[in-house]
A and B are shown apart, each in its own frame.
Chain A
Amino acid sequence: MKQGNIKVALVGNPNAGKSTLFNALTGMRQKTGNFPGVTVEKKSGTFRIADANGHDDAHVTLVDLPGTYSIYPKSKDETVVMDILANPQHPDFPDVVVIVADASNLQRNLLLFTEINDLGIPTVLALNMLDVAESMNLTVNAVQLAMQLNVPVVRINARTGEGMKGLKEAVKQVVGRTEKPALRYFYEPKENEIGLINEVKEIHHLDNDYVALQYVCQHDNFSFLEQPVRAKLDALIEKYGFDENNFLANETIARYEKIKPIVSKAVKSEGATEQPYWTRKLDSILLHRVWGYVTFALVLLVVFQAIFAWASYPMDMIDAGTAAAIEWVKGALPAGVLNDLITDGIMAGIGGIIIFIPQIAILFALVAILEESGYMARVMVIMDKLMRRFGLNGRSVVPLISGVACAVPAIMTTRSISSRYERLLTIMVTPLMSCSARLPIFTILIALVVPETKVLGIFNMQGIALFGLYLLGLLGALGSAWFLSLFIPRREPSYFMLEMPSYKLPRWGHVGFTMYESVKSFVLEAGKVIMAISIILWVLASYGPGDSMNVAEQQVVASMTTAPQEEIDAAVASARLESSYAGQFGRFIEPAIRPLGYDWKIGIALLASFAAREVFVGTMATIYSISGDTEDVLTVKQRLIQEKNPETGGQMFTPAVCYSLLMFYVFAMMCMSTIAVVYRETHGWKWPMIQLAYLMVLAYGSAFLVYQVLS
């Protein structure tokens, strides 16, 4: 028997539960969700199989793959599957394929099984979703199925982890077979296909008819075939007059002919089968002509209410906590530059970030619940017609909604959009959805200008303002999609065709873990950047070229001899900052941002936030603590309120400035990671650069307009 390292791949229809099974076996946390097209790239993990005595028997490398209905890919994500399975030289080429089948819809799920079987790869059939099948009055006889299909069949529940032992046993048994059983093809080639098949087999040294047919039909997708080889295959197709479309339709029908009798023997239904009761009931409301939109709007409103109103209680506690901590450290450490750097710079910066933990956690949890429950698929349906108007697809809803959490994974999910055109448009506009990194900026600025009054008794005015900003981002995304669609030629037809999963109760452990993960990465990632930027900024703000800072100080002192000491101190601090490196930098770009209502201090924060948006708030904290009076401990918000405009003497952060900043951050693309992922997904610099440019124009233009109108 083959010992040591076994390679296993998970293949199956979309939403059959492959990633859930992957997590159950490997203990990893691969993203799952209750709609087709969650996994868009291959992911590997490992697990061990123990022998009867509990000793390690085999080490398994497991690959989770995107779901497909057949081995003929229809979208970018699905090409991965055949690229591996058709190429035995591929490092991930499996010893065994575990076909994960949704038992509640066995006939269709077996289509893919018969195809993989015909490729000659050893398989194990895992029957998943048996609980759903049961609620549809279906019973599946695994033994019967195993006999007829001639493969091991195991009953599992990927969600609860039942049947893992049996599955591992089956994998071990298949790998351990000393001789391969003769392959029984489910599809026997037609007479007119045999000549072509034999010639391809000879040229490519293949021993499998069906693999040869795949070379014929799919060579353009096979990254392991060189261009001349592909051209030669095209010539062969010509020579034999092979009609691919005809073949594919006939093949699929022929397979179902074989599958039907097998399924009718193995699956027994008691009475009429129907989708589970709750799924039908919920769909009659959630997909309703009128109630469909009403409920969707309500769901969104609850989300924003949660993010703003519910999160405010823990946020206030964190706020008070950080202020107390800063105060304590300030007293405990000897006074001086280092003390200031640690307390006013780093601690204030980090405090400015951790205060947003409750909001981020709630946001990610709510998105996870939308995805896990199956509601996401319904939103795709009710939004499809609207999306189409703007050149997008109902499926674009997934990237747009998950873009509210973070644009980077959201852009990757576009791989399941089959039309390249719609995919590109979706990629181009997803960064307009306000991601969680913008939340801190929005929250702070809204708190400065929008009163905390209640509307209609329940809705918080600030929550509604936040809702408005997200809505603005969404409108920006749709508008830009429409605008871009005027310039990008549409080449292929657009499809929707989406399977509606049955509703499932979210797994609360999973939701909790998603929250934990998002908070962790938010704090660590943002924390690192803030720490670095705070320190750099502190240095740049504390030192200036040559003697400039002292000169500035002397000038102020000389001109203010009669003023009270306090005022002189403040003026000195401000003058010193202004002549520091950071200040001179801010001064340099000030002319460009003046029309938006920003001064050089905001300019510094704006520049720093190019590294990551989260930094904006922290940078403001650092800058204003340097220039302000350093005796009191103030939160970022308090500092912003106190900041005076040196020219007018009034508040710096007037409504006009705040709204202008809000506009800027709603539209601006200030995230290196997003640029990088767009570069990767579009294979070049062209699209990310176009995106960066048009978003900058949009941001600048709208901020300009808002400031000029309001001031």
Chain B
Amino acid sequence: MNLNKERMSARTVSLLKKGEKGIIKSFTDRAMSLKLLEMGCLPGCEVRLDAIAPFGDPICINVGGNYSLSLRLNEAAVIELE
């Protein structure tokens, strides 16, 4: 329960609006965080929500001005923002 409350309050990539930016703070899922790290999503890196697919999922984010990454909402939800 406690965990849930914390999640609710944290700002994550899945909550970004189109065009909105954020800075990656941490990840809430071990396995997923590893993939994200390898793909260049590092803590301290700036991300921007660029596009939302029809039906609202997946989304495309721009990572550090470098490249565009598409991920599902549940994957984006593990990326916490500052």
Q: Which residues of A contact B (CB under 8 A)?
A: 69-70, 72, 74, 104-105, 107-108, 111, 245, 248-249, 252-253, 256, 272-275, 279-280, 283-284, 287-290, 292-293, 377, 380-382, 384-386, 394, 493, 495-500
Scan residues 36-78 of chain B and give those whose CB is less than 8 A from a CB of chain A. 36-40, 42-43, 50-58, 60, 62, 64-72, 75
Ordered nearest first, which 10 A-B pairs have the shortest CB separation?
Answer: A108-B40, A500-B68, A287-B51, A273-B65, A69-B38, A252-B37, A70-B38, A496-B72, A105-B66, A498-B70
User: Given that A284-B51, A287-B53, A292-B54 are known contacts, is A69 also in contact with B65, CB under 8 Å in the complex?
Assistant: no
User: Given that A499-B67, A499-B68 are known contacts, is A245 also in contact with B39, CB under 8 Å in the complex?
Assistant: no
Determine whether B10 belongs to the interface, using a CB cutoff of 8 Å to chain A: no
Identify B65's interface contact among A274, A382, A497, CB under 8 A.
A274
Nearest residue, chain A, Cβ from B35: A497
The CB with the most chain A CB atoms within 10 A, among B34, B40, B70, B75, is that of B70
User: Given that A105-B67, A499-B68 are known contacts, is A253 also in contact with B42, CB under 8 Å in the complex?
Assistant: yes
A497 touches B53 (CB 8 A): no
Q: Is the interface of B mostly helix, strand, loop or mixed?
A: mixed
User: Given that A496-B58, A497-B39 are known contacts, is A249 also in contact with B72, CB under 8 Å in the complex?
Assistant: no
Q: With both chains docked as a complex, state the minimum distance between the C-beta of A112 and any C-beta of chain B, in angstroms.
A: 9
Q: Which residues from A are CB-within-8-Å of B32?
A: 495
Determine whether B31 belongs to the interface, using a CB cutoff of 8 Å to chain A: yes
A384 touches B57 (CB 8 A): yes
Roughly how many angstroms separate A274 CA and B62 CA in the complex, as a whole number?
9
Identify B60's interface contact among A256, A273, A293, A381, CB under 8 A.
A381
A499 touches B38 (CB 8 A): no
Scan residues 1-57 of chain B and give those whose CB is less than 8 A from a CB of chain A. 30-40, 42-43, 50-57
B55 touches A249 (CB 8 A): no
Q: With both chains docked as a complex, state the minimum distance between the C-beta of B28 and any C-beta of chain A, in angstroms.
A: 13
Identify B54's interface contact among A272, A289, A499, CB under 8 A.
A289
A275 touches B68 (CB 8 A): yes
User: Given that A273-B65, A497-B70 are known contacts, is A384 also in contact with B42, CB under 8 Å in the complex?
Assistant: no
Identify B72's interface contact among A70, A252, A274, A384, CB under 8 A.
A384
Roughly how many angstroms separate A41 CA and B54 CA in the complex, as a whole number?
33
Q: With both chains docked as a complex, state the minimum distance between the C-beta of A376 and any C-beta of chain B, in angstroms.
A: 12
B51 touches A283 (CB 8 A): yes
User: Given that A284-B51, A385-B58, A496-B75 are known contacts, is A252 also in contact with B68, CB under 8 Å in the complex?
Assistant: no
A293 touches B58 (CB 8 A): no
User: Given that A105-B40, A249-B30 are known contacts, is A500 also in contact with B65, CB under 8 Å in the complex?
Assistant: no
Q: With both chains docked as a complex, state the minimum distance between the C-beta of A92 and any C-beta of chain B, in angstroms.
A: 24
Q: Is the interface of A mostly helix, strand, loop or mixed?
A: helix
Roughly how many angstroms separate A416 CA and B49 CA in the complex, as a whole number?
26
Roughly how many angstroms separate A280 CA and B67 CA in the complex, as a whole number?
11
A500 touches B69 (CB 8 A): yes
A381 touches B70 (CB 8 A): yes
Roughly how many angstroms separate A385 CA and B69 CA in the complex, as a whole number?
16
A384 touches B58 (CB 8 A): yes
Nearest residue, chain B, Cβ from A287: B51
User: Given that A287-B53, A385-B55, A385-B58 are known contacts, is A107 also in contact with B68, CB under 8 Å in the complex?
Assistant: no
Task: Name 24 interchain pairs, CB-CB below 8 A, sorted by A.
Answer: A72-B38, A107-B66, A108-B66, A252-B34, A253-B37, A274-B62, A274-B65, A275-B68, A283-B51, A283-B68, A287-B60, A288-B51, A289-B54, A289-B55, A384-B53, A385-B53, A394-B58, A495-B32, A495-B35, A497-B39, A497-B69, A497-B71, A498-B69, A500-B68
Q: Which residues from B are CB-within-8-Å of A279?
A: 68
Roughly how many angstroms separate A497 CA and B30 CA in the complex, as a whole number?
15
Roughly how many angstroms separate A284 CA and B70 CA in the complex, as a whole number?
14
Q: With both chains docked as a complex, state the minimum distance between the C-beta of B20 and any C-beta of chain A, in angstroms.
A: 16
B36 touches A497 (CB 8 A): yes
Roughly how many angstroms separate A293 CA and B54 CA in the complex, as a whole number?
7
Roughly how many angstroms separate A381 CA and B58 CA in the complex, as a whole number?
6
Roughly how many angstroms separate A69 CA and B53 CA in the complex, as a whole number?
25
Identify B53's interface contact among A70, A111, A245, A381, CB under 8 A.
A381
Q: Which residues from B are CB-within-8-Å of A104?
A: 66-67
Nearest residue, chain A, Cβ from B55: A385
Q: Which residues from B are CB-within-8-Å of A245?
A: 30-31, 34
Q: With both chains docked as a complex, state the minimum distance between the C-beta of A404 and any C-beta of chain B, in angstroms.
A: 22
A275 touches B70 (CB 8 A): no
A289 touches B66 (CB 8 A): no
Q: With both chains docked as a complex, state the minimum distance between the C-beta of A595 and any C-beta of chain B, in angstroms.
A: 42
Q: With both chains docked as a complex, state the minimum distance between the C-beta of A283 and any C-beta of chain B, in angstroms.
A: 6
Q: Which residues from A are CB-within-8-Å of B71?
A: 496-498
User: Given that A105-B40, A288-B51, A289-B54 are known contacts, is A249 also in contact with B34, CB under 8 Å in the complex?
Assistant: yes
- Could you list 10 further interchain pairs (A-B, Cβ under 8 angstroms) beyond the known A111-B38, A111-B40, A245-B34? A107-B64, A245-B31, A253-B37, A288-B54, A289-B55, A384-B57, A493-B31, A495-B32, A497-B70, A499-B70
Roughly how many angstroms separate A500 CA and B69 CA in the complex, as a whole number?
6
The CB with the most chain B CB atoms within 10 A, among A104, A273, A284, A377, is that of A273
